[in-house]
Structure 1
Amino acid sequence: MRRYQLEALMNSAQMNTATDEKAKRHLLTPAENMSTLGSTSRPMLASGDGIYVTTPEGRRLIDGPAGMWCTQIGYSRGEMADAIAKQAMSLSYNSPWYTTNSPAALLAERIARVTPGDLNRFFFTTGGSTAVDSALRFTEYFNNVLGRPMKKRIIVRKDGYHGSTYLTAACSGREGNWQNFDIHQDRIRFISSPNIRLANGLTEERFLDQLVTEFETTIMELGADTVAAFLAEPFLASGGVIIPPKGYHSRIKALCEKFDIIYISDEVVSAFGRCGEWFASEKTFGFVPDIITFAKGVTSGYVPLGGMAVSEKLISRVSGDSSKGGFFTNGYTWSGHAVSCAAALANMDLIEKENLLEHTRELAPYFQNQLRTLADLPGVVDVRSVGLVGCVECMTQQDSVIASDADKAFANRVDDICFDLGLIVRPIANMCVISPPLIITREQINDIISILRKGIKLAAEELL
């Protein structure tokens, strides 16, 4: 090795060590293990290209979770950098409280072309949590204007995830997230997860009937005049890619209409191509909600942005002559941020130009079939998928349903091995989740499955 190459490697190693120490000393990251705070840090990433990310040491890894379900168009897209820079040099910021900007208006009109039904009114936020929080606040405003101050309860599901604000965290049915927090639950009612593994041997049809009956019984118990909203993901993403029985959403939506309950579809994960559609609610799951929330894929993770789409039917009941002089005062410093909206427009351009929705629909069956080849491996109890997102659920005991510490340790070990082999997997409790960028190829899917298979086998040899 030439001297200047050796010196460059040594300088890079020294810089990486220094950066790692700064992370240990100063960063507090999401889901931080406080017992090791200051003594450990997470793997550092330095760059990305396509479906790959690279560490400061030069190790190249497949980004299996697409960042956090969001890098639809992949990394290092010059078109995105150009759009962001151009808008930053034109208008970097405006106060949304008394002005607006062209990218926000153009983006609202652009998304309105692809939303289902009459969901044509948009409120932009900073991300998924604030999008869902804004949707819930809208239901408060809606019922207050209509003179129904008692109609404020929210029905949600176990295993669901909806965010990290005070209210959205209370609506998230993953109790592991609640530890050592004060969770506001006076207005929240949980119903069962639509996870067929919890059906106790029922057929899918009988399980569906049971879930729908539970929802209606819950409304009756609470009083329909007290229930404002049903909040649900089309599939429960962070809950482990839980896919409800066919017809679930349409039957729940019918009950919402019967009792004048607002159906909020949380598409923070599923929108902008993850299921091969701009929005999954109607075309993939067969129903049209009253409100859709979105984030993540709207900018492919390049900059933060979220939002909600509200139906004209709802808006008309609390606007114009029906407004009673009200102001929807919910908002954020970054609402409709010009640079973020410009990025979203460029992102949609690329998705359309490269036919990524069609590509996803064509590739999803192959991805799902390849994922199912892992079903017979030791430690695997279930494989499920929709669009380009899948989950391999692991248990140390094949007949188990509730995950133990040993099950979680097994999935974490799979993750560690895969990382060493060149693949990032998202471990959620005892589940290994894969949701690659939409630009992925068949050959790259084969690489993912090959590494994941080896990771599961090696973990099983160690722990089973």
Structure 2
Amino acid sequence: MNTIIDSCFDKINEQGTQVFRKKDNQFYLHPWEDLGSFGGNDRTVAVGGEGIYLFDSEGNKLIDGPGGMWCTQIGYGREEMADAIAGQVMRSPYYSPFNLTSDISVLLAEKLARLTPGDLNTVFFTTGGSTAVDSALRLVAFYNNCKGRPNKKRIISRKDAYHGSTYLSASASGKTRDKNYQDFATDIISFIDSPNPFRKPRAMSVEEFRDLKVKELEDKILELGPDNVAAFIAEPVMASGGVVVPPVGYHRMCLDVCRKYDVLYISDEVVTGFGRLGHWFASEEVFDIIPDIITCAKGLTSGYLPLGACIVSDKLMAEMGGEQAKGVIFSNGYTYSGHPVACAAALKNIEIMERENILEHVREIEPYFLSKVKELEDIPIVGNVRGQGLMACVECLLNPEEESPLELDYEMGSRIDSQCQAMGLIVRPVINMNVMSPPLIITREQIDEMFKILRRGIEKAMDELIRDGLWEMPN
């Protein structure tokens, strides 16, 4: 272990967790920080990890229920990942992607082209998921400019979608509560409803609901004008929006609508790519679509280093290129595009997943994982459970007939989070929803352990809400 890391461990051992929490509150502005409580947070200090577990500064061993941020596919503490990263650092830690190339980056691009469906063979490397989506949206605009269609720029996204936090990717995100105090590009982004079957009218069948949501896409294209609509962007499963699994056939039907009106289809696989649904990519294998562009990140390196990619079809590249494109420059890129150390981590990550048959493991264990999710339906406060692959959501409702006050939903999620962590499980409360995406190496026994804690945590939080007069058990 190097001296910097040794020094960190020494300091936290000497000074204690509270000292580090104080420094965290003083110096570190976290993502999605509530500025009303800035400087007064009580965050867990993570100091280590092994397999599916994290270790905090007070010696607690915690199951990582959300898998970091949907990304720790192969788990923590992989020495060969450390070796691959260190080896590349010593060999070639950086090159300028603007005027050079790197053997390791080329090898990863070739590997990704072989893993993606159809003719998606051109890889544009980015620094993460947000920049991958941002690059895809810029590429769509560039593509239509190249084709002499300057008005064909509108992007259709969906309510509850999350596509990132750069200006364009955040603009295409449909989580309204994330937009209260930020500015967004409102002139080029339009939204249609989420295809969440839990929100359908009771008298409507799932198939009727699916057809209605697909028609909504077509109606929106016609409303805006096909000559103005450039692309539809969709997560195969809406992750941060609550693990929304669309009805069977939804994505295929949406793709058909896009093809009918010459609208590009962007599949945002930042979460679902690299094994989360048991395949390298979910677009074709799970949802029967070959999109024009796929974005990915997260599981690409299992979170060991930041890296993303925007992968483009041969058809688009051919239409943008050729003799007529001489001097036409796609002026989009990053200092760390194709960073060799991150690419080495990705190649090693993919090698491990292939060698250990992790995709097959996910497909084998998925039914058991989802059965344990479904078992939670008998808890009175649980309104809906859903999932696919190794991602799931337990949505808790205080009143199934109407929306609860937002503050109370936050309170419920916070209490479940606290109860679970006290018993050894990290959950990720998204207001009133608990989302899970554990490392893909999780075993049946560890799934049992995780859901035993989650059940007890929800039940304890429910008892607290009753005790404090915030909720009454339904008759």
Which residue of structure 1 lines up, in the alignment, with residue 305 of structure 2? 303
Write the distance in 2 (CA, Å) between the matches of 1:9 and 1:148. 60
Task: List aligned pairs for 1:175-190, cutoff 5 A.
Answer: 175-190=176-191
Partner of residue 115, structure 1: 116
How does 1:37-76 map onto structure 2 within 5 Å? 37-76=38-77
2:210 corresponding residue in structure 1: 208
Distance in 2 of aligned mates of 1:288 and 1:329: 26
CA contact (8 A) 1:234 1:267 kept: yes
Q: For 2:323 and 2:367, how far apart are their aligned partners in 1?
A: 50
Q: Which residue of 1 aligns with 2:444?
A: 442
Q: CA deviation at 1:431?
A: 0.2
State the distance in 2 between where 1:386 and 1:181 align: 32
- Are the counterparts in 2 of residues 145 and 324 from structure 1 also a CA contact under 8 Å? no
Distance 1:70 1:430, change over 3 A: same
TM-aligned CA distance change 1:37 to 1:407, over 3 Å: closer
Q: 1:148/1:371 Cα in 2 relative to 1: closer, same or farther (>3 Å)?
A: same
In the alignment, which residue of structure 1 is the partner of 2:244? 242
CA distance in 2, matches of 1:403, 1:436: 30
Q: Secondary structure at the match of 2:377?
A: coil
Shift of 1:401: 5.6
Question: Aligned equivalents of 2:432 and 2:359: distance in 1?
Answer: 30
2 CA distance for matches of 1:281 and 1:217? 24
Q: Secondary structure at the match of 2:181?
A: coil
Alpha-carbon spacing, 1:9–1:228, altered in 2? closer, same or farther (3 Å):
closer
Shift of 1:398: 2.8
Give the whole-Å Cα distance in 1 for the aligned partners of 2:165 and 2:11: 41
Q: How does 1:250-265 map to 2 (within 5 A)?
A: 250-265=252-267
Amino acid at match of 1:376: D
Distance 2:12 2:449 in 1: 32
- Cα–Cα, structure 1 residues 325 and 416, in superposed 2: closer, same or farther, change >3 Å? same
Mapped pair 1:418 → 2:420: yes
| 1:326-367 C-alpha deviation (Å, 9 max, x unpaired) | 111110000000000000000000000100000000001000
Change (3 A) 1:199 1:45: same
Correspondent of 1:291 among 281, 293, 296: 293
State the partner residue of 1:278: 280
After superposition, the CA RMSD in angstroms is 1.5
Distance in 2, matches of 1:92 and 1:231, equals 34
Q: How high is the TM-score relative to the length of structure 1?
A: 0.96
Deviation of the 1:72 alpha carbon: 0.2
Question: Counterpart of 1:21?
Answer: 22
Q: 1:220 to 1:402 in 2, by over 3 A?
A: farther
Q: Which residue of 1 aligns with 2:323?
A: 321
- Determine the structure 2 residue equivalent to 1:82: 83
Does structure 1 conserve the Cα–Cα contact (< 8 Å) formed by 2:136 and 2:293?
Answer: yes
Could you tell me how far apart the structure 2 residues matched to 1:421 and 1:319 are?
Answer: 57
Contact 1:316-1:322 within 8 A present in 2 as well: no
Distance 1:401 1:257 in 2: 38
Deviates more, 1:11-20 or 1:246-255: 11-20
TM-score computed with the length of structure 2 as normaliser:
0.94
Q: Distance in 2 between matches of 1:200 and 1:210?
A: 11
Take 2:367 and 2:24, find their aligned partners in 1: how far apart are those partners? Answer: 41
- Among the aligned pairs, what percent are the same residue? 52
Corresponding position of 1:4: none
Tell me: CA distance 1:324–1:399, structure 2 relative to 1, closer, same or farther (3 Å).
same
Q: How far is the alpha carbon of 1:77 from its aligned partner?
A: 0.1
CA 1:306–1:70 in 2, change beyond 3 Å: closer, same or farther? same
Unaligned runs of 5+ in 2: 1-8, 466-470
> C-alpha displacement at 1:15, in angstroms?
4.0
The alpha carbon displacement at 1:118 in A equals 0.6
